[in-house]
């Protein structure tokens, strides 16, 4: 009886250790993916968006211009709402710093919705690609 309890305890302990060690790399991978996305997608999207706004384009046209001149149309994001939200916060921070004077609150809302929609598409890229 004592041997069974000891064996069960060891199996459960090993199970927890395996789960712990497997989850740590997954979290690091998501952080790495976010940093890479910020550098390749967020900065470029903000740059192209501001470029278009400074030329006098509407927010809608500037969003489309930025989308067409970034990797956002081609990347696949993890299926994680926080990932897209963190990428959005990073991107809007750059936009506000570089060309925030060209945006009204309504335009920021439109831009956020546009970015989130494109982010959801990037998170479900396999649903939008033909086979």
Selection from 20, 13, 112 nearest residue 59 by Cα: 112
CA dihedral 47→112→79→12, nearest 10 degrees, is 110
pLDDT in tens, the chain (131 residues): 556 666 776 767 676 555 555 554 444 344 446 787 787 788 888 999 999 999 999 999 998 888 888 877 777 777 778 888 888 899 999 999 999 998 899 999 999 998 888 888 877 766 554 54
Concatenate the DSSP letters of all residues of 69-120 into one string.
TSGGGT----S-HHHHHHHHHHHHHHHHHHHGGG--HHHHHHHHHHHHHHHH
Task: Please tell me the pTM assigned to this model.
Answer: 0.68
């Amino acid at each position: 009886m004592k041997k069974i309890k000891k064996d069960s305890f060891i199996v459960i302990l090993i199970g927890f250790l395996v789960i712990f060690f497997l989850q740590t790399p997954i979290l690091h991978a998501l952080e790495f993916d976010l940093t890479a996305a910020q550098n390749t997608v967020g900065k470029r999207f903000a740059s192209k968006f501001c470029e278009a706004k400074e030329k006098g384009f509407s927010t809608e046209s500037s969003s489309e211009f930025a989308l067409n001149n970034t990797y956002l149309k081609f990347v696949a994001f993890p299926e994680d709402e926080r990932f897209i939200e963190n990428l959005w916060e990073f991107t809007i921070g750059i936009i506000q710093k570089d060309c925030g004077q060209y945006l009204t609150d309504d335009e920021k809302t439109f831009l956020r919705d546009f970015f989130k929609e494109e982010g959801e598409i990037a998170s479900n890229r396999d649903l939008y690609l033909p086979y």
